[in-house]
Amino acid sequence: MNKPYLLGIDIGTSACKVAVFDREGNVVRAGAGDYAVYYPQPGWAEQDPDEWWRVICRTVRNVLADGVILPGQIAGVSIDGQSWSAIAIDKEGNVLTRTPIWMDTRAQSICDRLNREIGADRIFEVSGNSLQPSYTTAKVLWYKENLPEVYGRIYKILQSNSFIAYRLTGEISQDISQGYGLHFFDMKKGTWDEDMCREMGLPIDFFPEIVPCDHIVGTVTAAAAEQIGLLAGTPVVAGGLDACCGTLGAGVIHPGETQEQGGQAGGMSICMDTYKADPRLILGYHVVPGLWLLQGGTTGGGGVMRWFEHEFADYERSIQEVKGVSSLNQLNVIAEKVPAGCEGLIFLPYMAGERSPIWNPAAKGVFYGLDFSKTKGHMVRACMEGVALSLRHNLETAKEAGAEVNVLRAMGGSANSRLWTQIKADMTGKPIIVPSSDTATTLGAAMLAGVAVGIYKDYEEAVSLTVKETRRHEPDPEKKEIYDLVYSRYIELYDSLKGMMK
């Protein structure tokens, strides 16, 4: 047998990513596959977990198809996944309904009622998080009140990564980093609070036993091996939340280190070894044992540029083959010609409501300051600055909660844009280090597998071997002064408009 490899599987919002790494964190083979998000009603956003599984199987088979990596050379598999799923399965493992995803806000009235009846302060005291419709808790209660035929057949509620682990192994699990989606998860102890679960009207039996993120759940079954192309008996590790795995993959394993997230969603994760909660932010366990992550999670991240490119870049797409420059890179070029502050154009990036720190599912995206002098370049840069403004808003809130940040470590596709990364550094006044941006999340999942099967003796070794700094962005003090004024106007704009956002 040649040297062993590690397989990381990432269940993102718009696609899955699969990557095979060697011990030094080099990507040996990688692939991706798209799947749909369904929007059947306003405020609803759903996905089909079985569709995740089909796309993952096809992608893994494609990655292994050329025979460079043999299935028997893969020493372990781990999965990271998007947050706050509510995958209802019956005793035979059948998916009973599409799962609402993190963008779904249909259960606002349920949250309002529980916050009154149980008490918002008491819920926060147990879970370390405010009760919001984006989380898993209210989604399960929504099943109970609106889909009784589904609710009556539920055997277990799974998260995105635990569902794929179940398809691979036949074993039910719940990793600790995804516990934060349920408000009867005791954030101080890392256990279920059965009394709170009962008060919320849910049976504790719906929810699997909590395990560490580097726990070996089981091994690939013969049936799964036939579908996905892996070797039966390959160890499968629980994995965790995508933002947490990305935080590990960016090299954040010590208190005070901070990850900046540039995937479909935006935000940040501050590593802590003491419990610090704030109802405006998101608190969860890191995938690294003994640590928490104080997180800001926004709906406007890389998805903002994905939307803008899709809707307004027909011309750039039409000439990208001739120019040899992608449509997104062409948008970067025109945005770079616009000065910091966009000459008064400001974008509120609330494209699917907004999560932290404003928690307003009715919030809307807004361009403010348009006039005849503004160009497409102004709008592109305003989109980038809007996402950077939401990042700063979360960092300022974290500072008020007692979590100070010195350096950010960027991950996700947005970090490939030097302009956008520099804007974030200038906006926040923080240096930004960029490791291997596109692979941080799958690398973090692979590291969990590597620690679990003994390829790495601990996380210090895993990070030292695999995480490599590619570039560093220092903030420009002159642009920071401009952005201080823009930030004040950004806060003022939302405060002035939120009464209309209903």
Does residue 437 surpass a pLDDT of 80?
Answer: no
State whether 334 and 214 are in the same domain.
no
Radius of gyration of the chain (CA): 22
For the chain, count helices (H), then strands (E): 17, 23
- What integer best gives the mean pLDDT of the chain? 96
State whether 461 and 484 are in the same domain.
no
Mean pLDDT of 17-40: 97
State whether 101 and 127 are in the same domain.
yes
What does the pLDDT look like over 449-460, one tens digit per residue? 999 999 999 999
* Separation between Cα atoms, residue 162 and residue 99, nearest integer Å: 14
State whether 452 and 360 are in the same domain.
no
Residue type at position 254: H
Q: List all residues 6 or more positions away from 444 whose beta carbon is below 8 Å from its beta carbon.
A: 8, 80, 244, 245, 246, 247, 248, 249, 250, 287
Task: Give the per-residue pLDDT at 3.
Answer: 74
Residue 213 maps to a domain: yes
Does residue 337 surpass a pLDDT of 90?
Answer: yes
Give the confidence band of 139 by pLDDT, cuts at 50, 70, 90: very high
Residue 125 maps to a domain: yes
Going by C-alpha positions, the residue among 115, 119, 109, 179 that lies closest to residue 145 is: 109
Burial class (CB in 10 A: 0-12, 13-18, 19+), 18: buried
What does the pLDDT look like over 451-491, one tens digit per residue? 999 999 999 999 999 998 999 999 999 999 999 999 999 99
State whether 354 and 453 are in the same domain.
no
Top pLDDT among 173 and 413 is at: 173
| Alpha-carbon separation of residue 270 from 18, 55, 470 (angstroms) | 26, 32, 21
Task: Give the per-residue pLDDT at 315.
Answer: 97
Please state the pTM of the whole predicted model: 0.91
State whether 122 and 243 are in the same domain.
yes
Going by C-alpha positions, the residue among 301, 299, 493, 490 that lies closest to residue 389 is: 490
Which stretches within 364-476 are classed as H helix? 376-400, 418-428, 440-453, 459-466
* CA 497 to chain CA mean position, Å: 28
Does residue 334 surpass a pLDDT of 80?
Answer: yes
- Cα Dmax for the chain: 66
Residue 295 maps to a domain: no
Task: Give the per-residue pLDDT at 404.
Answer: 84
Task: Give the per-residue pLDDT at 412.
Answer: 83
88 three-class SS: strand
Residue 183 maps to a domain: yes
State whether 182 and 233 are in the same domain.
yes
* Separation between Cα atoms, residue 236 and residue 254, nearest integer Å: 26
Task: Give the per-residue pLDDT at 502.
Answer: 85
Does residue 376 surpass a pLDDT of 60?
Answer: yes
The helix-helix angle for 327-336 and 314-323 (nearest 10°) equals 100
State whether 372 and 455 are in the same domain.
no
**Which residue range is the domain that position 167 belongs to?**
5-251+436-466
Residue 224 maps to a domain: yes
Give the confidence band of 137 by pLDDT, cuts at 50, 70, 90: very high
State whether 67 and 213 are in the same domain.
yes
> Percent helix, strand, coil in the chain (nearest 5)?
45, 20, 35
What does the pLDDT look like over 255-286, one tens digit per residue? 989 999 888 889 999 999 999 999 999 999 99
Residue 276 maps to a domain: no
Residue 257 maps to a domain: no
Please report, for the domain that includes residue 350, its CATH number.
3.30.420.40
The number of domains in the chain is 2
Tokens linked to 281:
């932010």
Going by C-alpha positions, the residue among 68, 66, 187 that lies closest to residue 125 is: 187
Residue 279 maps to a domain: no
State whether 10 and 130 are in the same domain.
yes
153 three-class SS: coil
State whether 46 and 137 are in the same domain.
yes
* CB 155 within 8 Å of CB 90: yes
Task: Give the per-residue pLDDT at 2.
Answer: 66
Looking at the chain, the whole-number percentage of residues with pLDDT higher than 70 is 99
* CB 405 within 8 Å of CB 307: no
Tokens linked to 19:
């990557």
Does residue 432 surpass a pLDDT of 90?
Answer: yes
Torsion 81-85-90-94 (CA) sign? negative
State whether 361 and 382 are in the same domain.
yes
Q: How many CA atoms within 13 Å lie on the side-chain side of 422?
A: 14
Which stretches within 175-265 are classed as H helix? 194-199, 222-228, 242-249
Mean pLDDT of 328-353: 97
